[in-house]
Chains A and B, each alone.
Chain A
């Protein structure tokens, strides 16, 4: 779960993520087509660094669909945010909720204000 200071910064973040993913996907697709041997620096769970050579398609096995799902999800989040708020900047609690490692929902909430009566 990530917290943003307002809706605009969430939208900016999502746009950046989407761009990064689209670029990475394009590069990845090109590379997989050529499929060269590449140097891979691996950092394991204990923080140790290993270096090995492998085919890029081996490393990225199964990742392409994961990337697609992520791209799709972020696009639909952005779409709904734009259609619902249309540049209105909601300042309150803005949370991006992850489900199964994929950005899934935007939670909006607001600190309550004090008033006399109701």
Chain B
């Protein structure tokens, strides 16, 4: 006669092994193990009921070992062989789909509600930070220049305008080129070429520290800064150009500018005040 209980225990062990491969959540494993343990403990709870010699505490371990083996194999396979055992059983994907909405709804509950009036405040704050960022951090600052006469002053402002316009032009072209440098790099690699820095440049870069005034940067690191500069500079060039035009063509100015020395006050990089100094006033 075939001993039924050992066969049963082996079947249960294989079942647990398969279960381990699937890696179910603890809420599935623990009740199953609980039921099994209670079954195995029957002879101890009811000592008079001697059902079978195999119903013993020793055999509790077998299914647990099966589960552990299954679990281990499953993890090792997914890590080293890139096989997700769960998806082989057709379970992993549906489980993932079931899990995701739950976490999303949890997040929605946890996230603090923003009241409309706070939203207004937030928006205003962000606008202010942005505006400050533009007017304080990025412009060319305030300073004074001195000129002997009107012609010199106009030449001085024009030169500054041309310099800055040229600079802005180059920056915008380079920003565009540098933003594509990664594409060029991968193309070059495909052709068996590498992009490299000149060795002199590398050497200087190595001796680079945080508080230096002269800083070496990789071209692709400059892309964002150049992009920002492009926008700021184009606004700036337009404004400066407009003012220059006004100064040259405004008739009202002429009576004041004749033969006087002047200080020009630049505010945020734009000439805002022309101060006429007359000797012997």
Contacts and interface: CB of A to CB of B under 8 A. Distances in A.
Interface of A: 1-5, 13, 20-21, 23-25, 27-28, 31, 36-44, 47, 49, 51, 56, 59-60, 63, 66-67, 70, 76-77, 80-81, 84, 92-93, 95, 97-102, 104-118
A40 B262 CA distance: 10
B213 A108 contact: no
Contacts, number: 180
User: Chain B, interface size: which category?
Assistant: 35 or more
Interface stretch (B41-49, B84-92, B120-128, B215-223): B215-223
B167 A40 contact: no
B59 interface: no
Which of B141, B221, B229, B232 has most A Cβ within 10 Å? B141
A74 B267 CA distance: 18
B275 A112 contact: no
B256 A39 contact: yes
Interface string B196-226: 1110010000000000111111110110011
A30 to B, nearest CB: 9
A4 B163 CA distance: 9
Interface string B240-281: 001100110010110010000101010011111111111001
A96 to B, nearest CB: 9
Contact of A116 (B193, B225, B269, B272): B193
A15 B180 CA distance: 35
Contacts of B216: 107-109
Contact of A49 (B138, B192, B246, B270): B246
B195 A114 contact: yes
B139 A108 contact: no
B92 to A, nearest CB: 43
